[in-house]
Amino acid sequence: MINKDFCVCILTHGRPDKVLTYKTLLKCGYTGEVYFVVDNEDKTVDRYRENFGDERVIVFDKKAMADSTDECNNWDYRKVGVHARNACFDIAKKLGYTYFIQLDDDYTAFKFMIDTKSTENCGDRKSIKNIDKVFDLLLSYYKDNNFLAIAMAQGGDFIGGINNGVGSYRFSKRKCMNSWICSTKRRFKFIGSFNDDVNTYTILGSRGNLFLTIPLVSIDQPATQSGKGGMTEAYKLTGTYIKSFHTILMHPSSVKVAMMRTQNIRLHHSFDWKYTMPMIISDVYKIF
């Protein structure tokens, strides 16, 4: 890594022997610093320390973080990821980093997603070999612009192919999910104990804050609710009905729920971007 002011924070809970993201990072050639962000209500903290070393396992006070977060409900239910996301800003700052990427713990690949102009082969989807370089490129763009966060794409963005016949990378680039590149100098708070990523980019984005997805790189992870630990228990407890409605509660003017007809049919949030995010336009339209 050229950027020494950057680290990776893997947000993990109850999976000390199955932090897939760490293995995947190493496989992709990552040589920078990695920290494992674990909460103090996780019974497997000692096992994390055994596996990754005391200095790399950072334990935060989950109840304290919950008390300072808008969870969008009053259930006092903390088996969710939003608190780790919010804790990362202080953790990175204390460790002496300005920039960090927060990753979930279940990524099985970091990939290039390259459009080959063909709708038949879904493009080139190959593992990144030098992820240091990719992180440096993403960071360079992030540092040069006033984004609150940017992210890599995720597998589901490419349903229908990289080029789906209508065009390449047809999902909105104004979203930000999963792999958030953030700065301790551009702090913001994740919102809601469910759908925290969508709530956050929707609400803050609608107020003119910038988020972006870079579509040529992507993470892969197992189908939602298929693994033990992490958010699976929370989703199984309430279903995606509750999850999706958190975003409607927070932004009722543009968010709806709709059936997501994938292999695992479920309710999912749905919104029209033109009713949600202020447009970015060139300064040629501005009268100076």
Partner 1 sequence: MKQIIMFPAVVKETRYSTGIEVPVYEPKNRNPSVYELYDNAKAMNLIARINESSLPEQEKRFLIQAAYRHVVFNYELIADFYAHANKEVQELMEESALVIIDFNKAIELGYVKVCEDIKHQYMEDYIGDIQDNGGNDDQ
51 touches 38 (CB < 8 A): no
Among 254, 260, 266, 267, binds partner 1 (CB under 8 A): 254
At its nearest, how many Å lie between partner 1 and the CB of residue 41?
31
95, 137, 257, 260: residue in contact with partner 1 (rule CB under 8 A): 137
- Of 38-46, 63-71, 133-141, 225-233, the window that binds partner 1 (rule: CB under 8 A) is 133-141
Read off the tokens for 273: 């971007």
For partner 1, give the closer residue by CB, 35 or 158. 158
165 binds partner 1 (CB under 8 A): no
Say which residues have a Cβ less than 8 Å from residue 30's Cβ, sequence separation at least 6.
8, 131, 132, 135
- Minimum distance from CB of 239 to partner 1 (Å)? 25
* H or E segment to which residue 125 belongs: strand 124-127
Position 98 contacts partner 1 (CB under 8 A): no
DSSP assignment of 155-175: GGGGTT-SB-SS-BS-S-TT-
* Tokens 């003017």 found at: 253
**C-alpha distance from residue 223 to each of 7, 53, 169, 197 (Å):** 27, 30, 21, 17
Span 32-91, contacts to partner 1 by CB under 8 A? none
Residues at the contact surface with partner 1, assessed by CB under 8 A:
108-109, 111-112, 114-117, 120-122, 124-130, 133-134, 137-138, 140-141, 144-145, 163, 167-169, 172-174, 207-208, 210, 212, 214-217, 220, 251-254, 273-283, 285-287
